Amino acid sequence: MATQLKNLSDFSNTTIPSGAPYRFGIVVAEWNAKITGALYGGAYQSLIDNGVLADNIFTYAVPGSFELTSGADILLKNKNLDGVICLGCVIQGETRHFDFICAAVANGATNVALKYEKPVIFGVLTTDNEQQAIDRAGGKHGNKGVEAAVTAIKMADMAAQLK
Ligand code: DLZ
């Protein structure tokens, strides 16, 4: 159950709610598949570890991170879900492609979330190089897929409390 916080120090006491009641979509970009596969593994296992039923997790691949938000939109339109986790990895190159993709996914995720009033989680690594991505996909800085899954459960639980 979501905690109603009384003061800021309560943030340190927040626990992860049970994910058992919830249904989630996961969209995973195929670009940088070694990285996004690791993010997906972390996110999926974290949902399971926190009580989400395997039958209530719906995973789809999309070509690149740019397509994550339309994938999330399609999922929320066609499936009865409590939220969608977007997983991608955009690595800085020599052109401005990086800036366009990152901005599009961040804005797109926000817009889809507001359109459906459901959490759309930004689990996208935006790094200068591949090593920084590896470090955040199960490496020395943890796995951001795990964090994305926990965020999805917390937000779905918040929405459920207010229904
Ligand atoms: C084209 C492109 C480039 C250059 N870099 C990445 C990247 O680092 N990460 C990623 O997820 N996708 C990349 N893409 C593909 C775009 O996201 C998208 O799939 C294409 O522009 C087609 O819309």
Query: What CATH architecture applies to the domain 23-161?
Result: 3-Layer(aba) Sandwich (3.40)
* Residue 12 binned pLDDT confidence (cut-offs 50, 70, 90): low
Identify the band that residue 93 occupies on the pLDDT scale cut at 50, 70 and 90: confident
So what's the pLDDT on residue 1?
Answer: 54
Catalytic residue positions, numbered: 97
Q: Specify the pLDDT at position 115.
A: 98
Residue 11: pLDDT band (50, 70, 90) is low
Give the Å distance between the CA of 88 and the centre of ligand 1: 10
Domain boundaries, the chain: 23-161
Backbone phi, then psi, for 121, in 5-degree steps?
-95, 135
Continuous H helices in 50-143: 68-78, 97-116, 130-135
Q: Is 66 in the pocket of ligand 1 (CB under 6 A)?
A: yes
Give the pLDDT confidence score for residue 8 in this predicted structure: 61
Give residue 74's pLDDT.
98
At 107-162, the pLDDT tens digits run 999 999 999 999 999 999 999 999 999 999 999 999 999 999 999 999 999 999 99
The kind and range of the H/E element at 149 are helix 144-161
- List the 83-91 sheet strands across, edge first: 57-62, 24-29, 83-91, 120-127
List the residue whose alpha carbon is closest to atom 3 of ligand 1: 97
Q: pLDDT tens across 14-61, in order? A: 789 999 999 999 999 999 999 999 999 999 999 999 999 999 999 999
- CA of 91, closest atom in ligand 1: 8
13 alpha carbon to ligand 1 midpoint, in Å? 39
Q: Which of 31, 22, 28 is nearest to 2 (CA)?
A: 22
pLDDT at 163: 85
| Interface TM-score (ipTM) > 0.95 | yes
